[in-house]
Amino acid sequence: MQTMTIGAVAKAAGVGVETIRFYERSGLLAPPPRTAAGYRQYAPDAVQRVIFLKRIQRFGFTLAEASEFLTLQEGVRRVPMASDSRATRSPRWTSRSRT
């Protein structure tokens, strides 16, 4: 599978590398594997996710709301955003079966 550097993802999505890092820290973008030298290796679908996040923000949604959209889209709960009050209850949810 072809991988992309953080700079390539940022350029393809039309954002800065700090935006990619922020999304990663916030749990909106999964942390990618790294090379032995520490370089991030993103899958090409990361570009579409970043574009989606920027688009949804332009429509007036918050990143917390974007996280919920992604959760619904994936059908699986992901790592919650640090600002999410549920983040202190459990470090990771894996199933939508819990309500």
pLDDT at 88: 45
Confidence of residue 9 (pLDDT cuts 50, 70, 90): very high
pLDDT (tens digit per residue) in 15-24: 999 999 999 9
Instruction: Tell me which of 57 and 92 has the higher pLDDT.
Output: 57
Dist. CA 99–CA 95, nearest whole Å: 10
Q: Is residue 72 part of a domain?
A: yes
Output the domain CATH number for residue 78: 1.10.1660.10
Q: Is residue 12 part of a domain?
A: yes
Q: Is residue 23 part of a domain?
A: yes
Q: Is residue 1 part of a domain?
A: no
Q: Is residue 55 part of a domain?
A: yes
Q: Is residue 58 part of a domain?
A: yes
Domain count along the chain: 1
Residues with Cβ within 8 Å of 80's Cβ and at least 6 positions away in sequence, in order, are 27, 67, 86, 87, 93
Q: Is residue 95 part of a domain?
A: no
Residue 64: domain span:
6-88
Dist. CA 3–CA 32, nearest whole Å: 10
Dist. CA 69–CA 60, nearest whole Å: 13
Q: Is residue 63 part of a domain?
A: yes
pLDDT (tens digit per residue) in 30-87: 999 999 999 999 999 999 999 999 999 999 999 889 888 888 777 654 455 555 554 4
